[in-house]
Structure 1
Amino acid sequence: STAVKRGLAGDGVEAAAVAVMTTLNRDAAEAALSAGATAVTDVTGYGLLGHLHELCEASGVAAEVSASAVAAIDGVLELLASAEPPIAGGTRRNREWLEGWVEFARDVPEDRRWLLCDAMTSGGLLVAVAPDVEFEAGVRIGALVEGPAGRISVGA
């Protein structure tokens, strides 16, 4: 939404963002319950990594995330990779706050790093399910692992 406010996003990006932000999480939440989810949170102001950090810290585990597995609205990564990316203050604060908890592999591009810290209005649900569970309503972006509680390793 920051790119829209600054007049940097085209009509297609704006329409896609509105569609994502106005979609209710009810169906995904019901699917998560049916899949035996052990934790669920909505991804909003803390960004995906901020909410994952909170989930991991409360559960006493660490996490590994594949940055390329995280979906982005068409056009957003290009905006984030531009010479003057439209990055909200909340997103900058999220990334700064997470510096001690998140380790990015060298090959994770900056646009993906910003996306994972984005202070979203409505970013869907982050759902934890057992590794052997097929969760068709979502995309597997990583795994919860043994390690320092709240620590996140992000690979490309």
Structure 2
Amino acid sequence: MSGERSAGLLLYRVMDTGLEVLLGHMGGPYWSGRDTAAWTIPKGEYGSAERPEDAARREFQEELGLPVPEGPWTPLGEVRQKGGKTVTAWAVEGDLDPAAAVFGTFTMEWPGGSGVVREFPELDRVGWFLLRDAVEPLVTGQRVFLERLDECIGDDRRPSPSGR
């Protein structure tokens, strides 16, 4: 597992109430009923024949069933998660309606050892979170991306205290 690599996109928008990020709740039986550290940025694995940027775009489209918003990508760097997987992420500004998402699926044997293969959504819901409220739901290994995004968004992009 230590050689696995994933790439993803952290979608954000600047609202009067503050900076918001789009996170997806991981689907499947392991994540059912969990909320803390059970959300992720849309991301997925890629091999040596694929550029990480292409994988991030592909995975966003596969997991959400929606096109990647147009606009410049801000590199958020890499992080090595506890299990050994390296995740590379970019931020892109955009907006989308979570209700419009059509989730991609995966199959697995469930319950384990039963011989029954079932299909589950990769993500079972997505939602917008204020940056400060996104820390607890996001898986621990990806929380650094929130900090990096916060550093990248200049004060001129943030709403003023008066909302103007």
TM-score, with structure 2 as normaliser: 0.28
TM-score, with structure 1 as normaliser: 0.29
Larger Rg over CA atoms: 2
Name which structure has the greater RCO, CA cutoff 8 Å, separation 6+. Answer: 1
